[in-house]
């Protein structure tokens, strides 16, 4: 196993820049997820780490060695494809043993290794079956088996659960994380599914238009989104934004939104007057008739333990997550109270988050993970 260090990585296809000056470090044994919408450059980054694409610029270090220009087969990594890429003309045993065959391992040893791996993944009963007849989850396990059988320096996975049914997916998310906890393999996992990312990752990089918008633990990314894109991409429903104008002074603890004063975490930097946005997670909104920040109920979505309430305000619809017991009718006028300690402030122009007391506990996105 090894650490992966990506420095100023860049990839251009003609005029189109797929990946722009990416920098991140995946520590040894870490489960790292690259998250972003399709076309954001996450798969391209992964393919560059794998050696399937050559970067236009920058460096990739694998366990301290520069592998930027090495061929895929010289990097000692394993890759799990979205479509699994199991060879249809080989059975399960041959598929899993295929990487070992490349190393010229004696067949008796291949046999033992394949059987060990199959046991680990609980697919030992399928070894002599054809891969064509396997169910989605089992195909996924065979693909994983082919990856781990070689004990490579790291695993790269490109949306490996993307084609599975929801039922299998939840199971596999669990299995993948459990497998990771057992073998502690450095893993880079690409997905557009925030639930997968949040539930499995030690670290997440959120990408958009070839740029890493934020790099940090799932908690940091959820609680302290670095940009409006991240705030909007993570969370279901996503973070609400209420616009407000004027600048911010260092030390300010209050802003005015739609004529109502709202307490916010203490601002840590001066911001010249500009269009700003207040970011509120749905679960940080409560209904309180005394509040001056008002809206009308637009609709509700019942989810069992909670409900999502859409409230029409002067600045568009915002969504609140409140206990399911509260009875609400469309058209009711309500007051909104916000959980001041957990609010985010953004500069609308750049989308960048304003530094506030929320960030005091943050440590630049790095560390705090063992």
Partner 1 sequence: MSLTSAHSVVAPSANSKRIAGAIIIAYALISIVPLLWIFATSFKTPPDSIAYPPKILFQPSIEGYCNLFTTRTRQTPEYINSLGPATGFCDETVRKRNMVIAGPSNFLPRFVNSLIIAFGSTFCAVFLGTLSAYGFSRFKVPLADDLLFFILSTRFMPPIAVAIPIYLMYRELGLSDTALGMILLYTAVNVSLAVWLLKGFIDEIPREYEEAAMIDGYTRLQAFWRTVLPQATTGIAATAIFCLIFAWNEYAFAALLTSGTAQTAPPFIPTIIGEGGQDWPAVAAGTTIFLVPILVFTILLRKQLLRGITFGAVRK
Which region among 69-77, 168-176, 260-268, 356-364 touches partner 1 (by CB under 8 A)? 69-77
In the complex, what is the shortest distance from the CB of residue 356 to partner 1, in angstroms, rounded to a whole number? 44
The single residue among 33, 48, 78, 278 that binds partner 1, judged by CB under 8 A, is 78
CB of 144 closer than 8 Å to CB of 179: yes
The single residue among 16, 64, 103, 349 that binds partner 1, judged by CB under 8 A, is 103
In the complex, what is the shortest distance from the CB of residue 130 to partner 1, in angstroms, rounded to a whole number? 9
- Does residue number 4 form part of the binding site for partner 1 (CB under 8 A)? no
The single residue among 72, 171, 260, 322 that binds partner 1, judged by CB under 8 A, is 72
CB of 279 closer than 8 Å to CB of 344: yes
- Does residue number 86 form part of the binding site for partner 1 (CB under 8 A)? yes
- Does residue number 168 form part of the binding site for partner 1 (CB under 8 A)? no
- Does residue number 129 form part of the binding site for partner 1 (CB under 8 A)? no
Beta strands in 94-202 (DSSP E): 154-158, 187-191
**DSSP 8-class letter at 340:** G
CB of 190 closer than 8 Å to CB of 36: no
Residue 11: which H helix or E strand, with range?
Answer: strand 4-13
Which three-class secondary structure string do you get for 321-336? EEECCCCCCCCCEEEE
For the segment 25-54, give every residue that binds partner 1 (CB under 8 A): 50-52
| Block residue for tokens 């399937």 | 52
- Does residue number 153 form part of the binding site for partner 1 (CB under 8 A)? no
Other beta carbons within 10 angstroms of residue 220's beta carbon come to 23
CB of 74 closer than 8 Å to CB of 153: no
Give the residue with the Cβ less far from partner 1, 79 or 287: 79
Torsion of CA 144, 150, 151, 153, to 10 degrees: -100
In the complex, what is the shortest distance from the CB of residue 238 to partner 1, in angstroms, rounded to a whole number? 30
The single residue among 62, 77, 172, 239 that binds partner 1, judged by CB under 8 A, is 77
Cα(62)–Cα(65) distance, integer angstroms: 5
Give the residue with the Cβ less far from partner 1, 50 or 239: 50
Binding site for partner 1 (CB under 8 A): 50-52, 71-73, 75, 77-79, 81, 83-89, 98-99, 102-103, 131-132, 134, 136, 139, 146, 150, 163
């Amino acid at each position: 196993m090894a650490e992966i260090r990506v420095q100023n990585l860049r990839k251009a296809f003609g005029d189109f820049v797929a990946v722009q000056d990416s920098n991140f470090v995946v520590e040894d044994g870490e489960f790292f997820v690259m998250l972003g919408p399709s076309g954001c450059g996450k798969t391209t980054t992964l393919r560059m780490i794998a050696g399937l694409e050559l970067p236009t610029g920058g460096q990739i270090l694998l366990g301290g060695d520069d592998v930027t220009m090495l061929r895929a087969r010289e990097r000692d990594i394993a890759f799990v494809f979205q479509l699994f890429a199991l060879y249809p003309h080989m059975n399960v045993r041959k598929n899993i043993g295929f990487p070992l065959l490349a190393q010229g391992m004696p067949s008796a040893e291949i046999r033992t290794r394949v059987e060990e791996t199959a046991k680990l993944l609980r697919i030992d009963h399928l070894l002599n079956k054809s891969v064509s007849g396997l169910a989605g989850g089992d195909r996924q396990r065979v693909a994983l088996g082919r990856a781990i059988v070689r004990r490579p320096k790291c695993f790269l996975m490109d949306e490996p659960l993307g084609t599975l049914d929801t039922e299998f997916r939840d199971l596999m998310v669990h299995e993948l994380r459990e497998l990771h906890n057992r073998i502690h393999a450095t893993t880079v996992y690409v997905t557009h599914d925030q639930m997968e990312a949040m539930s499995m990752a030690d670290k997440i990089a959120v990408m958009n238009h070839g740029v890493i918008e934020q790099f940090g633990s799932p908690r940091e990314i959820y609680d302290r989104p670095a940009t409006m894109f991240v705030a909007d991409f993570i969370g279901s429903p996503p973070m609400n934004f209420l616009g407000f104008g004027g600048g911010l002074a260092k030390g300010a603890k209050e802003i005015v939104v739609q004529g109502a004063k709202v307490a916010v975490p203490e601002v840590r930097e001066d911001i010249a007057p500009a269009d700003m946005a207040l970011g509120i997670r749905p679960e940080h909104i409560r209904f309180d008739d005394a509040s001056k920040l008002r809206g009308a109920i637009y609709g509700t979505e019942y989810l069992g333990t909670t409900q999502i309430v859409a409230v029409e305000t002067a600045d568009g619809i915002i969504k609140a997550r409140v206990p399911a017991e509260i009875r609400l009718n469309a058209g009711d006028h309500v007051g909104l109270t916000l959980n001041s300690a957990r609010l985010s402030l953004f500069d609308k122009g750049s989308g960048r988050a304003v530094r506030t007391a929320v960030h005091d506990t943050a440590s630049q996105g790095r560390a705090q993970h063992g």
